[in-house]
Structure 1
Amino acid sequence: MLNKFPASAKKYLFILILALIAEVYFFNFRYWRTLIPEEQSIPLSEITTNENLSFEENRFRLLSADSVKCLFPYSGELKSVTFSTSVSGNTAPYVYYINTVNTACNSSYRIEDHTIKQSVTVYDTEGSELFYKERISSLSEENSLFINLPSGDYYILTEFSYTNSALSGAAYIDSVYVNKTIPFEFNFIRFLTVAILLLIIIMFAPGSKIWDKPLNRPAAVMMPAVIAFVIFICIGVSNPIWLNETPPVDSYGEITKALAKGHFFTDLEPSEELLQMEDPYDYEAREQNEIEYLLDYAYFDGKYYVYFGVVPSVIAFLPYYLITGKMLSYSACFFLVLAFFLSGLALFLSSYIKRYHGNISYGSYLSSYALVLLMSSVNVLFFAWLNYSIPQFFAVTFLIWGFYFYTKAGMQTASEKKLIAAGSFCFALIAGCRPQLAFCALIAYPLLKDKMLKKNTLCYWLAFSIPFVIVAAPLMYYNYARFGSVTDFGAYYNLTVGQIHKQPFSLSGYKSALLFYLFTIPQFTHEFPWISYHIPNLMAENVTDNLAGYFIVFPIAMVSLFYWPHKSGKDKSCTIFRILLVFLSFFVIAVAYFYLGIRYIFDFAVLFGIESIVMLMDLEKNNKTRKFAHLIILISILLGILYYFLYFSGSYANMLSLNFTAPECWYRIYKTVCFWK
């Protein structure tokens, strides 16, 4: 019967069957394991307790939040012990973070009140300890600890402790079971996830037909962008604080209202103490004297300014405010830019690969898009306050579109001058978002040199340069009107946790930045998500959290630095393009070395990602290394998915971690992944 199905249908059917088997038998192995022996209910009257338990209404009431102990004997095979606990008057218990203490930075994250810590110790009849285990879970669910001891006579000692600072009701132990059968649970999300991972592995495995399928439909170019947009929508919706709340530093709300009134300073009033300070930028003096000030605003000549790039306000926030009278939400603006970022990346990659590699396979394009998207670290922005992410995202989006317009202009097209002008306009706008990324306009040389240098006509140069002048003139006036200098964007006047204006560039600081961003070794833990943020011991100021260095997560980016084959002709442009991408990546790190934080990786990550793809495409077009390139791409994609899933489930300082903003969602993820607990 299966012979009647086409090969592709058989492949998909095989994936579904394999995922189904994994869900039914592997992920539910506790159910099959606890079918035998038969479960037994332990009468509460046979349980010996200390003074912190009171028998009321056929159940135990916990009289203390600590050192609650109960002991009972058991004879037979011991697979598990289950305590059913409940809380009267509470309906929404959560677990915020199971691995609560972060030893690397000597800090801890709170567990939601209404969680319980349970430890079980099993002794034999002679008093020797045979087993010990502890776990943290919700007070309103059954707490099973799996033991797996052979038949014998045992004494089981269980100790409970829980947080009760906001507990409005009483905590109870309702029942106790030994060898309780774990309910069978078919988790559709887990089943679907396994099926998708298997599909990725089979689809992009070396030798798969997708590597030979031509990319001959324009609609197929945008398909990965649409899929990615849907995925990111789901990620954003899962983080309610990120999605719905205005950041504490409402930078774009303030500058938008100021621009609508016709001036560049905000309406925020500085305190009298700040006005009287001799050096208001001295962070230690502000803290020691308890000076009231607004964090992350530029302060100059008695007024507060916004030092973040003004272009996002002019393009998005201000028009919306003038039309509706309401402020555009940060998350809505973010998703709007996300759509342009994803579509621009699709257009750039397809154009670049077609220009330098001719006809490409759909597999090459699809895998390249997925890998660059993962290597761009865009998901990091979903856990940072959006007032910081918006200018970064605008800048990188303009960068990608600038790459696309320049790449397209370098091909044989009738509208090449318009494309050059559009690319220059995008790169010019970067200066009003993230000024250090404006230097990426150097990419114009390898992408446009065949047009600009050989034809050498005035029209091409005017198309290239006029957009920079059009954008630069108002930006320079904007800076001069605020700070008296056409090149001063206000970062040095920022009231932050340091003194940027007193920090000269130093090689030791740059070295620390390289170690932090590229080579931070991950810190592993024994609890989900098994990786924890930590603050590396670096000789640099203002170091915050990081999970792992970029080269540790994506070693392909580091390997690509050492791959420089001799090129000539058209391929020489690819080599120059790669050299500039690497140079610009390290340059951006040098500019951002003063304040080290995980979200700044987004500034340079996409440059490393594109550079790696250029190398892989070079390997892919060589028949001897083609399958090797496919294997490297597949492994890199899987590593990226794994890392960012752990990132998505982790907890970080100064970030909107999911286990802090949406604990119910995080706990469902925890229960889905840790199926053995």
Structure 2
Amino acid sequence: VPALIFFVPFKLLFGVHLPTWIAVTFCGLMYCIVSYIFIYLIIKKYYKNISFGTYIVTDTIFIAMSAIVYLVFYGTIYSLPIMMSLMLGIIGLSFWIAASDSKKLNKIYLILGSLAIALIIGCRPQLAIILLFAFPIFWNDIKEKRFFSVKGMANTLSVIVPFLIIGVGIMDYNYARFGSVMDFGANYNLTSNDMTHRGIVLARNWVGIFEYIFQPLNISSKFPFMQLIGNNVQFDYQGYLSQEPLFGGFLWFNPILVICWAYFKGRKEMKKKKCYALGVGAFVSAVIIILLTIQMSGMTQRYMSDFGWLFAMSTVIAFLYLEEKYRNTQKYYIVMKVLISLSAITLVANYFNIFIADRYQNLFYTNPNLWFWVKYVLFSI
């Protein structure tokens, strides 16, 4: 899909190859722009009385938690399929939410949303798990028989047909190139990570979950204060683990994630708002993606973007719930101070890690003027 949408047309029009970093950056910018629309639609659908300030804060942490700064900073062919999948996913979900926000479903939005999400299969197949979000998004419409009924046949086909068309096209391509409709090319991986003989080993899960979520940061008093985890990770697993340099566990970079505890405490209120299933579904989908990644690939920093945006979606819904729940109460200012503090740490941690000296394409070598300016001007202490 990235080849057909970006590289082939560019080569035909201009006769030269499109630099990969341009495609990655474009998808990143589009993701940020559509994120503002997406969060607005979430608020409009589930929490109509949210302030403009809360809207800005929630969208800002949503973008930060998605970990796209890593993908855009490391704008290589490895980043493009993930970044494009995130862009298509947020576009597709936005169309679906917009389509459901009326008494009469907008079939054009249904088709466009399904088309965008279906195209993910040709970028990052596992992220197409978000097609299951159709059930919590359209749950009221399903109960009112706007889907899966005679009168709702047109709506049902508007969602299903784009997946069938894209799916058949991609399976035909897989068969023509790899000899199997379900082979997306992983068996032809020629890197050091042999994905053809990994198998499913449950013992990997604990190591992977710890590294992806709970691994503490490697910090010091020396600028930039954060270093790669490197070989500091130790474990008892006796098999082979494919590992690349990590910065630390997702929870340490995104402490705002802890507010998802609200799904246990406030499930009754959130169910009344009809947003409980979407928030929990996003969180569970993130966990499933983590487990699939551990078994299929291994531990790599860019893979955090696969599940980060799903955790971000769940976190934003929890944030909106807490803001509304404690509004006009004595605890409101305490709750908001905690939320804003956690949000600030999340923002700083996610964006400041671009200065880590030993990361891929680090600024120390690619842009030393900026790296040393920040070190000596902002941190000359």
Deviations 1:43-68 (A, max 9, x none): xxxxxxxxxxxxxxxxxxxxxxxxxx
Instruction: Tell me what 2:286 maps to.
Output: 585
Partner AA of 2:120 in structure 1: I
Over 3 Å counting, the alpha-carbon distance change for 1:341 and 1:493 in structure 2 is: same
Instruction: Tell me what 2:161 maps to.
Output: 466
User: Shift of residue 372 of structure 1?
Assistant: 0.8
Instruction: Tell me what 2:373 maps to.
Output: 668
Instruction: Tell me what 2:176 maps to.
Output: 481
Over 3 Å counting, the alpha-carbon distance change for 1:628 and 1:431 in structure 2 is: farther
Instruction: Tell me what 1:337 maps to.
Output: 27
CA contact (8 A) 1:616 1:629 kept: no
Q: Secondary structure at the residue paired with 2:77?
A: helix
CA contact (8 A) 1:452 1:461 kept: no
1:560 aligns with 2:260: yes
User: Shift of residue 462 of structure 1?
Assistant: 0.5
CA contact (8 A) 2:270 2:276 kept: no
Deviations 1:377-402 (A, max 9, x none): 11111332511111100001111112
User: Shift of residue 352 of structure 1?
Assistant: 0.8
**Structure 1 runs of 4+ off > 6 angstroms?**
none
CA contact (8 A) 1:410 1:447 kept: yes
User: Shift of residue 645 of structure 1?
Assistant: 4.4
Partners in 2 of 1:675 and 1:639 — Cα distance?
Answer: 22
1:494 aligns with 2:189: yes
Partners in 2 of 1:604 and 1:595 — Cα distance?
Answer: 14
Instruction: Tell me what 1:105 maps to.
Output: none
Partner AA of 2:345 in structure 1: L
1:550 aligns with 2:255: no
Partners in 2 of 1:578 and 1:628 — Cα distance?
Answer: 24
Partners in 2 of 1:640 and 1:365 — Cα distance?
Answer: 16
1:605 aligns with 2:308: yes
Partners in 2 of 1:372 and 1:445 — Cα distance?
Answer: 22
Q: Secondary structure at the residue paired with 2:196?
A: helix
Structure 1 gaps of 5+ residues are 1-310
Partners in 1 of 2:140 and 2:105 — Cα distance?
Answer: 15
Structure of greater Rg = 1
Deviations 1:500-531 (A, max 9, x none): 11111222212211111101111122311112
1:318 aligns with 2:8: yes
Of 39, 42, 62, the residue aligned with 1:372 is: 62
Instruction: Tell me what 1:395 maps to.
Output: 85
Partners in 2 of 1:575 and 1:644 — Cα distance?
Answer: 27
User: Shift of residue 343 of structure 1?
Assistant: 1.7
Of 248, 252, 275, the residue aligned with 1:574 is: 275
Partners in 2 of 1:570 and 1:441 — Cα distance?
Answer: 21
TM-score normalised by structure 2 residue count:
0.91
Partners in 1 of 2:351 and 2:141 — Cα distance?
Answer: 44
Of 363, 366, 376, the residue aligned with 1:658 is: 363
User: Shift of residue 570 of structure 1?
Assistant: 6.1
Partner AA of 1:494 in structure 2: N
Instruction: Please identify which structure carries the higher helix content.
Output: 2
Partner AA of 1:671 in structure 2: Y
Over 3 Å counting, the alpha-carbon distance change for 1:641 and 1:356 in structure 2 is: closer
Deviations 1:388-418 (A, max 9, x none): 1111000011111121111111111656221
**Equivalent residue pairs, number:** 365
Coordinate RMSD, CA, aligned: 1.9
User: Shift of residue 633 of structure 1?
Assistant: 3.1
User: Shift of residue 664 of structure 1?
Assistant: 2.2
TM-score normalised by structure 1 residue count:
0.52
Q: How does 1:211-250 map to 2 (within 5 A)?
A: none
Question: Which is bigger in relative contact order (C-alpha 8 A, separation at least 6)?
Answer: 2
Partners in 1 of 2:193 and 2:23 — Cα distance?
Answer: 30
Instruction: Tell me what 2:339 maps to.
Output: 633
Q: How does 1:89-100 map to 2 (within 5 A)?
A: none
Partners in 2 of 1:613 and 1:530 — Cα distance?
Answer: 28
Partners in 2 of 1:667 and 1:339 — Cα distance?
Answer: 27
Instruction: Tell me what 1:537 maps to.
Output: 234
Partners in 2 of 1:436 and 1:659 — Cα distance?
Answer: 34
Instruction: Please identify which structure carries the higher strand content.
Output: 1
Partners in 1 of 2:171 and 2:287 — Cα distance?
Answer: 27
Of 34, 53, 74, the residue aligned with 1:363 is: 53
